Amino acid sequence: MRCLIASSSRDKTESDFSESRQVRLAAMAAEEILELSNGRITAKIAAWGATITSLIVPDAHGNLADVVLGFDTLEPYMKGISPYFGCIVGRVANRIKEGKFTLNGVEYSLAINNGPNSLHGGLKGFDKVVWDVVERKSGECPSITFQYHSKDGEEGYPGDVTVRATYSLPDSTTLRLDMEAVAENKATPINLAQHTYWNLAGHNSGDTLDHSIQIWGKHITPVDENTIPTGEIMPVKGTPFDFTTEHKIGARINDVPGGYDHNYVLDSGEEKNGLKHAAKLKDSSNSWTLDLWTDAPGMQFYTANYVDGITGKGGAVYGKHSGVCLETQGFPNAINQPNFPSVVVQPDNANT
């Protein structure tokens, strides 16, 4: 690789060289896609947004499928074409009403990027930045750890925050993500989520309406016309939102205006090793099954309602309902709803 830092015709100071070198290294890091594999599962993860771009898994017969939506190169992600495919979103995932909140007597105004609201951290959230690769491990439990430092005032949020995300393959059938955020000098809301679009029949197989899902949540947080929770905790029994037993996604989706895009209260799943069972997703042939476990209080169930004709990997065209997002999270707009579990992190206290 050529070094381009001396291409300018003017004299450079040592600090100029350092700045140019940092810019070049950042550009190189942005284009980096790393592979994480245990011989059975193979994930490709980009430093841009700590984004899963590909996840190849076998079924019981050894047939392989790439089960996440995405792009072949990083250019569409970096140009903002991606509707959050595979990335980590933050500083606060989901929506904050009118991009405003008050914390410790100070009112903060955030970037508005979703109607009247702030969504997934704003115009340049954690999905649109380069994360540093701070650790890679091989062996029986291969892993990659990414880190990002979010500065005080970034997208309007208070305080410096250091975020770490570790993807690992602890056994032959498990992909694990551990996320941690440390507020360094000011209290701040933090709500991280992983935004992969799943299609267990293969990313290029069409819509997911024939997928079946079970969600271990007996309640949702219903929303208003701007998709902001009303503050109510609503039972799902007897409604199209009831997935406490397994149903096809498409069976009642027409009874939900626009499709599913709702936060489930994870209040009824089995608990194991500090995690609770959140959801079980199956493709129509029952060849692939995804079991999701989390320690988060909620999960956004989103059926790709706004995906419309996006050209992805291998020329596949992703249409409406072509993927399913299961975004484990704190409740949307929790910073403005005192009856919701708090997402405020105090300085030097990790949010994991």
| DSSP-H helix ranges across the chain | 14-30, 75-78
- Residue 324 and residue 301: Cα distance in Å, rounded? 7
**Catalytic one among 203, 211, 321, 327?**
327
CB 323 within 8 Å of CB 304: yes
Find where tokens 């989390």 sit.
294
Short-list 197, 234, 227, 180, CA closest to 345: 180
195 has catalytic annotation: yes
Q: Burial code of 175-184, b = ≥16 C-beta within 10 A, e = fewer?
A: bebebbbbbe
- Residue 135 and residue 37: Cα distance in Å, rounded? 15
Kindly report the length of the chain. Answer: 352
- Residue 2 and residue 5: Cα distance in Å, rounded? 9
Q: Which residues face 66 on adjacent strands?
A: 56
Q: How far is CA 286 from the centre of its chain?
A: 25
Burial of 111 (0-12, 13-18, 19+ CB in 10 A): middle
120 has catalytic annotation: no
Q: Which two tokens stand for residue 246?
A: 């397994």
Known binding residues for beta-D-galactose are: 94-95, 195-197, 261
Residue type at 204? N
**Catalytic one among 120, 154, 155, 195?**
195
SS3 state of residue 75: helix
Find where tokens 């951290």 sit.
121
DSSP state of 341: P
Residues known to be catalytic: 195, 327
